[in-house]
Structure 1
Amino acid sequence: MAADSTFASLRAAWPIQRRVLGALLMREVLTRYGRHNIGFLWLFVEPMLFTLGVTALWSLTGASHGTSLPIVSFALTGYSSVLLWRNMPSRSIGAVKPNLSLMYHRQVKVLDILLARLMLEGAGATISFTVLSLIFISIEWIQPPEDLLLVIAGWAILAWFGISLALLLAALAERSEIVDKLWHPAAYLIFPLSGAAFLVEILPKNAQDFLLYVPMVHCTEMIRDGYFGSKFHAHYTPSYPIVINAVLTLLALAQLRKVSREVIPE
């Protein structure tokens, strides 16, 4: 009986939650991109331009990154992955204060504001990755993924990592400004370790053992395994980033609960 009551309450709350997130998403799109030029299309055009720039740079310089794989495929899977997890915390840190006026609405919570931004950021990176993949495949610069489901699984786990990390950092940033100061240099320092610019198999064994402690490496290797797994030996364990994500999510929700109690609407 208690379980049925809980399920009924959740089912009744879902339409409200959906409308709240929908309204916050629309507000975020208009606030960030406006109605001028190409408007909300910048949502995925901006990450596309970044990825194209890196792809062109690596292609023109002949960077092989220690592998014989096509550089376009290597750059697409690598840098698109970076944009997915790196931009989420950057957009979430400091997101609460500019939206304090929304807290007057009983249905709007701190988590809703953050989720709206994260959904928008994740959608932009995902659309960019998908559109670029389709374009490169259509002009035969890259081959279609060998295992599409594996690509989707790796991308989903990486997105979960970005979301959980962003929620935790956003909550901690509300309690200390130093989090915002440290994240930006930390993001640049973490980038070389994320697996975007190398394959694990080309590294010495000691380096492999060390880098496989970095959860993003497993996700990037999964995505590349799904794209061109027959051309290299991928190193990853899906359960590892999943456990890390679960821990980060629990910590983030605990911190957000504390922050929500301290937020005072303006």
Structure 2
Amino acid sequence: MPRILVALMLREMATTYGRSAGGYIWAILEPVLGVVLLSVVFSMALTRPGLGSNFPLFYATGFLPFTMFLDLSSKVAQSIRYSRPFLAYPSVTYLDAMLARVLLNALTHIVVMTVVIGGIFFLYQLPPVVNLAEIFEAILMIIAFAVGVGTLNCYLFTAFPVWERAWGILTRPLFLMSGIFFLYDMMPPMAQNVLWYNPVLHCISQLRRGVYPTYQANFIEPAFVFGTAVVVLLFGLLLLSRNARDLLER
């Protein structure tokens, strides 16, 4: 199994970035440019960000975990379709394909997050007062929920191709509903009652609680995120285990 995972990871590294100029540099440049754009646009409209006084740091701690969730869940959801030629071999299973994509893309996003946020601390000479335990928990929450959603969508995308388009439409409002621009604490009570049930909001807020030592965010409930992730994951694995053969023949 380790050899299969390494082979699948090397293949994805070669096909995703290996053929483009710059290679894996784009994995870092894309989020950096996204954070810079958000910082420039909103610094012209607002006098200060929702936390602290540094716009790049505030938007990086919202944009990067959100991007990590979307990309990781999407990569897991497309595992069967992406690795279909290899799944014809008896020694390669859909779990191998999914696990390889989880490991590679999770590590890539962790490196990107470390480089971008660490670079902001260095460039702006910010005091590095962070809580690594809180940040680590936030990353685990993101990975768990992304893998759960991606596993369920792995079945739905393959069995019902129209669902992939519908999912893309349904997730667009998440960009505004996950606390990237405005903190949960600043929202009206009616909005808070609805948005609390958005696990991505908890993940982003948890990361910010680790980066900003004065940010309490008492509304965060990691058990809700992990519980939701486990339920969705088990449901997705059940559907895949019952229909894996049919999905490979589509």
Identical positions, percent: 23
Asked if 1:121 is matched to 2:105, the reply is yes
How many equivalent pairs are there? 250
Normalising to structure 1: TM-score of the pair? 0.84
1:195 shift after superposition = 1.9
Partner of 1:75: 59
Name the CA distance, whole Å, in 2 between partners of 1:127 and 1:204: 35
**Do residues 18 (structure 1) and 23 (structure 2) align?**
no
Comparing 29-38 and 171-180, the one that deviates more = 29-38
Partner Cα separation in structure 2 for residue 63 and residue 259 of structure 1: 54
Match of 2:15?
31
The aligned residue for residue 42 of structure 1 is: 26
CA contact (8 A) 2:50 2:58 kept: no
Aligned with residue 220 of structure 1, among 204, 217, 223? 204
> Is residue 45–residue 128 contact of structure 1 (8 Å, CA) maintained in 2?
no
Which whole-Å CA distance do the structure 2 matches of 1:144 and 1:202 have between them?
Answer: 26
Mean CA deviation greater in 72-81 or 110-119 = 110-119
Q: What amino acid is aligned across from residue 45 of structure 1 in structure 2?
A: L
Residue number among 139, 142, 159 corresponding to 2:143 in the alignment: 159
Pairing 1:170-185 to 2, within 5 Å after superposition: 170-185=154-169
C-alpha deviation, 1:115, in angstroms: 2.5
The more displaced of 173-182 and 51-60 is 51-60
Counterpart selection for 1:206 from 190, 197, 206: 190
Aligned pair 1:135/2:135, yes or no? no
The CA deviation at 1:260 is 1.7
Task: Structure 2 unaligned segments of length 5 or more: list them.
Answer: none
- State the shift of 1:214 in Å: 0.9
Q: In the alignment, residue 39 of structure 2 is paired with which amino acid?
A: T
Please tell me whether the aligned partners of residues 85 and 158 of structure 1 are also in contact (alpha carbons under 8 angstroms): yes
CA contact (8 A) 1:222 1:234 kept: no
Does residue 245 of the first structure (1) align with residue 245 of the second (2)?
Answer: no
Q: Which residue of structure 2 lines up, in the alignment, with residue 144 of structure 1?
A: 128
Give the TM-score, by structure 2 length.
0.89
Query: Does the Cα contact within 8 Å between 1:63 and 1:71 map onto a contact in 2?
Result: no
Do residues 195 (structure 1) and 179 (structure 2) align?
A: yes
CA distance in 1, matches of 2:25, 2:61: 22
* Contact 1:149/1:226 (<8 A) preserved: yes
Would the aligned equivalents of 2:148 and 2:236 in 1 still touch at CA under 8 Å? yes
Q: What is the CA-CA distance between 1:51 and the residue it aligns to?
A: 3.0
Equivalent residue, structure 2, for 1:91: 75
- 1:7 aligned residue: none
**What is the alpha-carbon distance in structure 2 between the residues aligned to residue 200 and residue 135 of structure 1?**
26
Separation in structure 2 between the aligned mates of residue 60 and residue 117 of structure 1, nearest angstrom: 39
The separation in 2 between residues aligned to 1:232 and 1:135, in whole angstroms, is 24
What amino acid sits opposite 1:217 in the alignment? Answer: L
Contiguous gaps of at least 5 residues in structure 1: 1-16
CA distances 1:132-169 after superposition (whole Å, capped 9, x unpaired): 11111112354324311101111211121111111111
Root-mean-square deviation (CA, aligned residues, Å) is: 2.4
Of 225-234 and 101-110, the range deviating more from structure 2:
225-234
- What do the CA deviations read for 1:31-56 (whole angstroms, capped 9, x no partner)? 11125532233333333333333233
Partners of 1:158 and 1:135 lie apart in 2 by: 22
Contact kept, 8 Å, 2:50 with 2:182, in 1: the verdict is yes
1:176 to 1:136, Cα distance in 2 relative to 1, 3 A: same
